[in-house]
A and B are shown apart, each in its own frame.
Chain A
Amino acid sequence: MYKSLALGGIVVLSVGSFMSCLGAGPIAIAGDVILLSGCGISTWGFCYWQPDSQA
């Protein structure tokens, strides 16, 4: 589960980065929220799962 959170968070933050930088108005704001959420989700996942761990 934590592996999915870690890797899924990276996908979310990637989408958020592009929306935030390339979009305008509401899309950019939504991108900011998605970028920050992705960072949070990914951090949560990596706290319990890391590429070297067996879990």
Chain B
Amino acid sequence: MGSYTVVRKFNWYYTFALICRFSFGSLGAKIPAIMYAFIQLGWYVIQAALFGHLIAVYFELSPFFEALAMIGSCLFMGLFALKGMRWMSVVGLVSIPTMIMLCLATAMRSIQDGGGWATVATFSGEETVSFMTAVGLVLGTWIFGASTTVADFNRFARSTKHVIAGCATGLLIVNSFIIGVGAIVGAASQQWDLVEILFGLGLVVPAFVLLTTNLWTTNSANLYSVGLTLSSVFPKVSRQTIMLGIMILASVLSLFKPYEIGAVFGMLTGLSIIVPPLTGIVLVDFYYLWNKQYPDHIENLSFKTVNPYAILAWLTGIGVALAIDIGFASLNAMLGAALLYALIMKASHLKMLSSGDEPLVTHQKTQEA
């Protein structure tokens, strides 16, 4: 679903915040955009604080220096997003092969030290969550990035084919590989954290390299995406200023130790029910209501201010996820919102473009046909 959204956004060079205007209205789109920015900010703070915390743990730093490490980590990671795509692509190009090689090597070492494949095959965890909950959590981590953040970067791809190849490689193959490595290492060593395993084996340099490359790439992307989104919410403030503000805010928030596991799980659970309804609404809007024909030149269009039906559908989707225990919460939330949005919009005949723009859109569609 996320990949579909990504491809559609690529075709119009619209970011997540811009595309929401078609369903939520010019002012209404600011609500999911601000929420999205806060969630991204949350991830940014969690990851940056975790990096600072692990440095502090390894070097046995006092609380004061741990705080400095977390603040430094927030500012350092943000610097690359501030410098733009060129710097971020250098980080990505170096980090990805490094992570893949270190993950493979760590998996081999864990299997070797843990007693071979027999240990992995017979592993059974002490604490279990239900299958549905586990799938919901995994969906929660990826549906958000796939449907929102990834799209913001795919605008720069050369063709739809490149976007599909990029999403299939990154989201499907590489992500599955990393999850697989994590599962093997977890089963072989009875620990869940690759970095802790490396520290435990005395492999300090690989641990820091893995941690840095892993957190650095995703966090720079997070901050860049927040900057893009908030730029559309506050068009008069430059993206650089917004990013600087976020880096400072993140530095302050990192002092509250957001890396603790309760906060991370809370975040994942929240994400798995808050974001999917948005994706459902956007997909219904594009495929069903607009018949896959969003108009070009969004800057020339004037939208209605707020679409209360989209907001109602979003809240209903969240309610559906909370109320229904059957199936996957994320999927229930998305389907609930999508169905309600489609029904209300068809029944009400509400048009989100102001009447002056409708002839323009019709004219463009006629020309395209």
Contact = CB atoms under 8 A, between A and B. Distances in A.
A43 B105 contact: no
Interface residues of A, number: 22
Contacts of A50: 89-90, 93
Contact of B93 (A6, A14, A22): A6
A13 B205 CA distance: 12
Contact of A32 (B97, B104, B205): B205
Give the dominant DSSP class at B's interface: helix
A15 B104 CA distance: 12
Interface string A9-39: 1100110011011100000100010011011
Given A13-B98, A14-B101, A43-B94, A32 B206 contact: yes
Interface residues of B, number: 19
Nearest to A10: B97
Interface string B76-109: 0000000000000110011001100110111011
Contact of B90 (A10, A20, A35, A43): A43
Contact of A46 (B94, B101, B112): B94
A21 to B, nearest CB: 4
A10 B105 CA distance: 15
Contacts of B102: 17, 21
Given A42-B94, A46-B93, A18 B206 contact: no
A45 to B, nearest CB: 9
- A-B pairs with lowest CB-CB distance, top 10: A21-B105, A32-B205, A17-B101, A14-B101, A46-B93, A10-B97, A46-B90, A42-B94, A21-B109, A17-B105
Interface of B: 89-90, 93-94, 97-98, 101-102, 104-106, 108-109, 112, 198, 203, 205-206, 209
14 contacts: A13-B101, A17-B102, A18-B101, A18-B105, A21-B102, A21-B105, A21-B109, A22-B105, A28-B203, A36-B205, A38-B98, A42-B94, A43-B90, A50-B90
